[in-house]
Amino acid sequence: MPEIGRLAVCLALLFAAYSVVTSILGGVRRRPDFVRSGEHAAFAVAGLVVVAAAILLRALLQHDFTLEYVAAYSSSSLPTQYTVAALWGGQKGSLLFWAFMLSLFTAIVQIQNRDRNRALMPYVTATLMTIAFFFLALLTFVTDPFERLPVAAREGADLNPLLQNYWMMLHPPSLYTGYVSASVPFAFGIAALASGRLGDQWIRSVRRWALFSWSFLTLGNLLGARWAYEVLGWGGYWAWDPVENAAFMPWLVSTAYLHSVMIQEKKDMLRVWNLVLVLLTFALTIFGTFLTRSGVISSVHSFTQSGLGPFFIGFLLFVLVVSGGLLVYRLPDLRTPATIESFFSREAAFLFNNLILVGIAFAVFWGTVFPVLSEWVRGVKITVGPPFFNRVNAPLGLVLLFFTGVGPVIAWRRASPRNLRRAFTGPVLTALAAAVALGVAGVPPGYAYLTFVLGCFALGTVGQEFWRGVRARQAMLHESAPRALSRLVGKNRRRYGGYVIHVGVVSAFVAIAASTAFRIEVTQPLKRGEEMQVGKFRLRYERITTAEDAHLSRLAAEVSVWRDGRQIATLAPEKRFYKKPQQPTTEVAMRSTLTEDLYVVLGSYDRDSDLATIQAFVNPLVSWLWLGGIFMACGTIITMWPAAAERRATAFALGGARVPAE
Amino acid sequence: MKVGAALVLVALLLGAPGIAAATATQQELEESLTCQCGCGLTVHSCNHLQCQSGEPMKKEIADRLAAGEDKEKILAAFRGRYGEKILSAPTFHGFNWFAWLTPFAALLLGALGLTRVLHRWTHETPAPVPPVATPVDSALRSRLERELAELDREP
């Protein structure tokens, strides 16, 4: 069976190469038969890669330890859900998973564009299949997931215990989905450049793909943060690790694109800038993969390191040279007359928002690569860690939060003094009231204080927009408030979905500021029955319990939590010891509420003295980060939900497509 | 002058290094040092079970603080032993200034460039074209009024 998997990958590689060549020939020579043939080959690639992925998954589930990959990343006692996760838990499997998703997305793009964008499609197919070719070539010639061991292993080495967590079931696929789907806007951008069709048609065609990619990058980052929070046990959720940075950078640039593209749609401006952002987002996804695989910069994600770095850096250079070359070649045709009328306009606000987003992305990039630069220039290894990123990005984040408030309400073209008064009086008063209330509540001045005030300003603008919209509908159409709200959102999903996303962003900002500035942390060795105070909580170490099964052994400390003389919870932080990789892990115990998380870790335990070192954190408002993620997901769904007319058109098109077949 | 003011602002934003030296706490020092166990976290954040690197460093920091040493001296001791990579952020000296200033310099350049471009665009904007007084055929006008009136009558 694995030989069939290998054959499928090899054939997929050949079909991808064929698809690239015929698609380009079809586009250049205007041969629709070539173009269709290239598309059919892309479908064949999808089918073959699905077969290959299914065979590897089957080998994992059947514990076929004759395969090197299965023996290295699973074991017979690994729970089934983590055995499935082992498909992307190792380098070879994750590359196959990448190719699998890319080929599926390519097939979806082909189906979506059967009868439209025909001038762009040859180059879209060629671009997507070039990317697929790269990954399939790695799987064929460099890192074969179906490699057999000379002698079958009796038992597998097991999946890295850090990956044996339910968030790990979701985090990598989400991030891969975000990364891989960024290929689609990139492919359309390249197609626009190659075909010379530089208007906004390609932009409109990939609007949903760009949002889809952004939403999964958001989700992937947040799920990764949640995983780190629960599994690594150091009390935080973001450590500015190079690989975290690698996932954050394309998110920032993609966010900038989603804003600036509105200017192109409205005013046919910024064609070059939008292309740059699309190309950069894709290049950063490849750069991120390079960072993860190369080990050039030390990272907590070192379990994925391999010798693939040079291949990825080569491919990245190829992408930059080709896309940069095409961009320069088309530059004269991309220039359009600019018609921004005033600094006080939504266009200008979006441009400054873009500057900050790309500026933060650059700061993160710079901090990530600076250790390498320092070693080259000075021959001295240095570390660029959280203190650097926090200091540099905190002020930039505040400016971004300010523009999050300004963007939605400032007028397009030119904001008159009357418009500015009307748009900002409410939000500014809200922010001032918040500033006074926070001062009275004793919140010290600093970044957190400013974040809360600017967050209130941004929420004020969003709230005002909803309020005014609902009031206007109620006044004109005499609708009830809930009906007016649903109609308001339904009639302009993109706008109001965007506002809901902004609420999520503000929520995340507030969570990050509060949990960074006001975290309480106490570490104390306790004997049985002894207590420690953490903020307003009193913790009592009650006893140690142990448990063991074939897969792992557990050591759990039972800790009762008291507040105001009343027991409110019992927590059981654990140390686990996985038997096959012989590795200890930390299992955090948490009491999570909207206002704070009580986060308890069993630091160490001395059996002889029955002394348990308990590390406890009170992390304020961390739940708001996950809540922000839910808001962002809801906002994205609202934004992407097709309007009634679109749904009718799709149904009609599908119905029409079925007729000849029947 | 503007650039000088911007650099002063950047220095303020970066939090005036050295100010906290006299009042450094155990946590502050632990956060200024990188654990050498390979976790990539600061000494303060590393919670590897009985970490061979982080735990002795935490104890040494506590001992040195108890002995009355200040932040600079304690950090210098660790740096002397492990090299510059032990520090969790670049120092504010020599080549390392590039690490701190480049992001702000890039942003400043971007802001200046964007301001210039916007200034040019806002001044190049063609004057709005005055509406051309198109003679409207009286028959067309009466038809338009009739249709609008019919539209108003619709439920």
Using CA atoms, how far apart are residues A127 and A108, in angstroms rounded to an integer? 15
Q: So what's the pLDDT on residue B96?
A: 92
Least confident piece of the model among A222-236, A415-429, A581-595, B14-28: B14-28
Task: Say yes or no for a CB contact (<8 Å) between A236 and B45.
Answer: yes
Q: Which of chain A's residues have a Cβ under 8 Å away from the Cβ of B87?
A: 382-383
B9: which 2 tokens?
């602002």
Task: Say yes or no for a CB contact (<8 Å) between A388 and B125.
Answer: no
Task: Say yes or no for a CB contact (<8 Å) between B31 and A386.
Answer: yes
Chain A from 563 to 592: CB within 8 A of any B CB: 575, 584, 586
Q: So what's the pLDDT on residue A180?
A: 94
Task: List pLDDT tens digits, range A138-180.
Answer: 999 998 999 999 888 888 888 888 888 888 888 889 999 999 9
A75: which 2 tokens?
């074991």
Q: So what's the pLDDT on residue B22?
A: 41
Question: A538 vs chain B: nearest CA distance in angstroms?
Answer: 22
Q: From residue A248, how far is each of A357, A413, A641 by CA, in Å? A: 11, 32, 26
A597 backbone dihedrals φ, ψ, rounded to 5°: -110, 130
Using CA atoms, how far apart are residues A342 and A298, in angstroms rounded to an integer? 47
Q: So what's the pLDDT on residue B9?
A: 58
Pick from A420, A428, A381: which is nearest to A402 by CA? A428
Asked if B34 is an interface residue toward chain A (Cβ–Cβ < 8 A), one would say yes
Asked if B7 is an interface residue toward chain A (Cβ–Cβ < 8 A), one would say no
pLDDT exceeds 50 at position A662:
no
pLDDT exceeds 50 at position B149:
yes
Question: A96 vs chain B: nearest CA distance in angstroms?
Answer: 28
Is residue A480 classed exposed, middle or buried when 0-12, 13-18 and 19+ CB atoms within 10 A define those classes? exposed
Q: Which of chain B's residues have a Cβ under 8 Å away from the Cβ of A380?
A: 83-85
Q: So what's the pLDDT on residue A419?
A: 87
Using CA atoms, how far apart are residues A155 and A75, in angstroms rounded to an integer? 6
For residues A474-498, average pLDDT:
91
Nearest CA in chain A to B92: A388
The DSSP annotation for B41-105 comes to SBTTT---TT-TTHHHHHHHHHHHHHTT--HHHHHHHHHHHH-GGGBSS--SSGGGHHHHHHHHH
Task: Say yes or no for a CB contact (<8 Å) between A391 and B89.
Answer: yes
Sorted by sequence, the CB contacts under 8 Å of residue A394 that are 6+ apart come out as A447, B13
Whether the pTM exceeds 0.90: the reply is: no
CA angle centred on A82, ends A78 and A83, rounded to 5°: 70
Question: B37 vs chain A: nearest CA distance in angstroms?
Answer: 11
- Tell the residue number behind the tokens 């910024």, with chain if given: A270
Q: Which of chain B's residues have a Cβ under 8 Å away from the Cβ of A233?
A: 47
Q: Give Cα B18 distance to the centre of its chain.
A: 20
Q: So what's the pLDDT on residue A276?
A: 95
Q: So what's the pLDDT on residue B136?
A: 58
Contact assessment for residue A76 and residue A61, using Cβ atoms and an 8 Å cutoff? no
Asked if B103 is an interface residue toward chain A (Cβ–Cβ < 8 A), one would say yes
Asked if B42 is an interface residue toward chain A (Cβ–Cβ < 8 A), one would say yes
Helices (H) and strands (E) in chain B, counts: 6, 0
Using CA atoms, how far apart are residues B131 and A255, in angstroms rounded to an integer? 39
Q: So what's the pLDDT on residue B19?
A: 38
For residues A438-451, average pLDDT:
93
Question: A171 vs chain B: nearest CA distance in angstroms?
Answer: 20
Contact assessment for residue A359 and residue A380, using Cβ atoms and an 8 Å cutoff? no
Using CA atoms, how far apart are residues A185 and A192, in angstroms rounded to an integer? 10
3-class SS of residue A200: coil
For residues A34-41, average pLDDT:
94
Task: Say yes or no for a CB contact (<8 Å) between B111 and A584.
Answer: no
Q: How many CB atoms lie within 10 A of CB A97?
A: 23
For residues B61-67, average pLDDT:
91
Amino acid found at A137 = A
pLDDT exceeds 90 at position B14:
no
Sorted by sequence, the CB contacts under 8 Å of residue A425 that are 6+ apart come out as none
Give me Rg for the CA atoms of chain A.
27
Task: Say yes or no for a CB contact (<8 Å) between B104 and A392.
Answer: yes
Asked if B89 is an interface residue toward chain A (Cβ–Cβ < 8 A), one would say yes
Cα dihedral A322/A328/A330/A331 (nearest 10) = 150
A556 backbone dihedrals φ, ψ, rounded to 5°: -120, 135
A618 backbone dihedrals φ, ψ, rounded to 5°: -110, 110
Task: Say yes or no for a CB contact (<8 Å) between A381 and B39.
Answer: no
Pick from A167, A350, A365: which is nearest to A250 by CA? A365
Task: List pLDDT tens digits, range A608-653.
Answer: 888 999 999 999 999 999 999 999 999 999 998 887 666 666 565 5
Residues A632-659, buried b or exposed e (16+ Cβ, 10 A)?
Answer: bbebbebbeeeeeeeeeeeeeeeeeeee
pLDDT exceeds 90 at position A549:
no
Listed by start position, the domains of chain B span: 20-96
Third-level CATH fold of B20-96: Helicase, Ruva Protein; domain 3 (1.10.8)
Residue A148: DSSP 8-state: B
Asked if A385 is an interface residue toward chain B (Cβ–Cβ < 8 A), one would say yes
Q: So what's the pLDDT on residue A573?
A: 94
B27: which 2 tokens?
């946590």
Amino acid found at A41 = A
Contact assessment for residue A464 and residue A499, using Cβ atoms and an 8 Å cutoff? no
Task: Tell me the pLDDT band of A401, cut-offs 50, 70 and 90.
Answer: very high
pLDDT exceeds 90 at position A577:
no
Task: Tell me the pLDDT band of A655, cut-offs 50, 70 and 90.
Answer: low
A148: which 2 tokens?
């057999």
Contact assessment for residue A220 and residue A302, using Cβ atoms and an 8 Å cutoff? no
Q: What percent of chain A has pLDDT over 90?
A: 64
**Interface test with chain B among A162, A229, A230, A234, by most B beta carbons within 10 Å:** A234
**Interface test with chain A among B91, B107, B112, B116, by most A beta carbons within 10 Å:** B107
Of residues B142 and A362, more confidently modeled: A362
Task: Say yes or no for a CB contact (<8 Å) between A382 and B85.
Answer: yes
Question: A390 vs chain B: nearest CA distance in angstroms?
Answer: 9
For residues A82-89, average pLDDT:
90
Using CA atoms, how far apart are residues A596 and A515, in angstroms rounded to an integer? 9
Question: Measured between CB atoms, which of B47, B99, B104 is closest to A603?
Answer: B47
Q: Which of chain B's residues have a Cβ under 8 Å away from the Cβ of A554?
A: none
Q: So what's the pLDDT on residue A140?
A: 94
Question: A367 vs chain B: nearest CA distance in angstroms?
Answer: 7
**Interface test with chain A among B44, B88, B129, by most A beta carbons within 10 Å:** B88
Chain A from 525 to 554: CB within 8 A of any B CB: none
B61 backbone dihedrals φ, ψ, rounded to 5°: -60, -45
